[in-house]
């Protein structure tokens, strides 16, 4: 990339190298480095051909650095009755669910989303006084949150903003901030519309095409991830894992850029090809464990057979560009590229693969109880939400027998 074409963003540098072109690198401010902030630098070469994402990532890293500084300063401030204090306290207090991490707080992926909405809320209502706001104000705010930049309806975004506000106010109650309890009572009395369930779900042939595209793009472990999602109906995070804070009490030997990784490994698969895991969405609640017989998963076995025995170590899914498990953003960019190359409509997302797998099982005639147990749902109506258009191995085998017959009938 020529110098004149190099994107500019907060903290974004292009240091020279002895061999090869400069690599885009985010660099913490001198003040932050002196204060002990980590990470001091972040290699952003994975976004070198995506200038918008490069700038966005640099901005996010800068925001996280600035938040770290605010955390150091916050304790000296006094509550002034405004929403800004409540929203910042939720971000900064070390005992806030925002900072605790699982199992006592929110997950890293959720934390990133919350941080975005906290910034928006501070800009929008931060100057307002809690004691002078009531339910009618909240209804007006919600109506404003629903309107996108081009006038489009953004109901999911409005619901998320409301959820973040509720979380911050709840923590303010824990901290005994004046009037927070009264305002939370107002929020509890209000009812707002909810987004309809997504109606999109990929079919097996589309996932086969996406796997082929992943291989063509030089990312075979993405193909393996898609196979696991379709054949097991597991969530994306169940298979690619996630990067959590170093403060997480659980042990991990994979650490990078101030975070450590948790996720499925080859060592979780026994000699009989039985894999047992605890889904990320239930690990802190129902603690349900799901066992899969991978030998009856055709897509998974096709991908595993392509991996030499000596490479079956460490994380199941990793980014060949880094040798480490995928970061969420890198995986998102990757699956979008694969899906586009496979001709999958843009309205179908990777997370819809779970719904596609569950729907396929219904169409194949698998019993609802087996489908529920395979999906890791405690209640049958949860499984119904995904049917668009400890779990035992027998349930998995029953389902996969039905799926195998269904795919054979529809392969032509």
Q: Do 155 and 223 lie in a common domain?
A: no
Asked whether residue 234 is assigned to any structural domain, the reply reads yes
Residues 213 and 124 in one domain: no
Residues 187 and 231 in one domain: no
Asked if 190 and 263 sit in the same domain, the reply is: no
- At which of 196, 225, 257 does a domain end? 196
Of 130, 162, 196, the residue at which a domain comes to its end is 196
Q: What is the pLDDT of residue 374?
A: 59
- Give the distance from CA 241 to its chain's centroid: 9
Domains identified in the chain, total number:
2
The residue out of 170, 196, 222 marking a domain boundary is 196
Rounded Cα distance between 399 and 367, Å, is 8
Judge if 249 and 350 occupy the same domain.
yes
Confidence at residue 277, expressed as pLDDT on a 0 to 100 scale: 82
Q: Are residues 172 and 291 in the same domain?
A: no
Domain that holds residue 328: 204-410
Together in a domain, 306 and 323: yes
> Looking at the domain assignment, is residue 132 inside a domain?
yes
The 3-state DSSP class for residue 283 equals coil
Asked whether residue 338 falls in the same domain as residue 406, the answer is yes
Distances (CA, A) of 22 to 25, 43, 128, 130: 9, 11, 46, 50
Q: Looking at the structure, tell me whether residues 247 and 351 fall in a common domain.
A: yes
Residue 151 lies in a domain: yes
**pTM (global) more than 0.85:** no
Q: Is residue 240 part of a domain?
A: yes
Q: What is the pLDDT of residue 332?
A: 93
Question: Any idea what the CATH number is for the domain that residue 251 is in?
Answer: 1.10.443.10
List Cα–Cα distances, 61 to 65, 66, 100, 282, in angstroms.
6, 9, 20, 29
What is the mean pLDDT, run by run of 10 residues, along the chain of 412 residues? 69 85 91 87 86 83 80 65 94 87 74 91 96 96 93 93 96 93 95 84 93 97 96 90 78 85 93 82 54 91 96 95 92 95 94 86 70 52 43 72 80 64
- Name the DSSP class of 285: T
């Amino acid at each position: 990339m020529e110098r004149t074409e190099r994107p500019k963003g907060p903290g974004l540098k292009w240091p020279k190298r002895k061999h090869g072109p400069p690599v885009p690198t985010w660099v913490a401010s001198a003040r932050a480095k002196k204060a002990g902030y980590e990470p001091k630098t972040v290699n952003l070469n994975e976004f070198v051909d995506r200038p918008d994402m490069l700038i966005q990532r640099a901005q996010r890293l800068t925001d996280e650095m600035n938040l770290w500084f605010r955390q150091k300063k916050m304790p000296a401030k006094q509550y002034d009755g405004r929403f800004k204090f409540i929203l910042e306290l939720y971000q900064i207090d070390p005992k806030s669910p925002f900072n605790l991490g699982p199992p006592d707080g929110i997950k890293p992926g959720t934390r990133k989303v919350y941080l975005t909405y906290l910034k928006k809320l501070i800009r929008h209502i931060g100057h307002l006084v809690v004691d002078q706001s009531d339910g009618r104000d909240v209804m007006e705010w919600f109506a404003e949150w629903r309107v996108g930049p081009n006038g489009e309806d953004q109901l999911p975004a409005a619901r998320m903003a409301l959820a973040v506000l509720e979380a911050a106010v709840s923590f303010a109650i824990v901290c005994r901030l004046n009037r927070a309890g009264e305002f939370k009572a107002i929020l509890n009395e209000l009812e707002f519309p909810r987004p309809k369930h997504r109606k999109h779900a990929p079919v097996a042939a589309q996932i086969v095409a996406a796997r082929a595209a992943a291989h063509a793009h030089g990312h075979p472990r993405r193909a393996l991830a898609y196979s696991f999602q379709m054949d097991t109906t597991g969530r994306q995070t169940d298979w690619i894992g996630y990067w959590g804070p170093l403060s997480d009490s659980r042990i991990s030997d994979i650490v990078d850029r101030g975070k450590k990784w948790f996720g499925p490994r080859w060592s979780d698969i026994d000699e009989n090809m039985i894999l047992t895991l605890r889904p990320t969405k239930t690990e802190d609640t129902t603690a349900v464990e799901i066992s899969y017989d991978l030998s009856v998963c055709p897509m998974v076995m096709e991908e595993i057979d392509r991996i030499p025995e000596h490479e079956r170590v460490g994380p199941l899914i990793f980014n060949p560009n880094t040798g480490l498990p995928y970061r969420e953003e890198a995986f998102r960019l990757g699956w979008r590229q694969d899906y586009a190359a496979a001709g999958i409509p843009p309205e179908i997302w990777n997370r819809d693969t779970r719904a596609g797998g569950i729907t396929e099982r219904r169409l194949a005639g698998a019993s609802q109880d087996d489908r529920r147990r395979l999906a890791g749902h405690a209640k049958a109506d949860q499984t119904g939400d995904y049917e668009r258009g400890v779990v035992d191995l027998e349930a998995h085998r029953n389902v996969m027998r039905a799926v195998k017959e269904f795919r054979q009938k529809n392969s032509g």
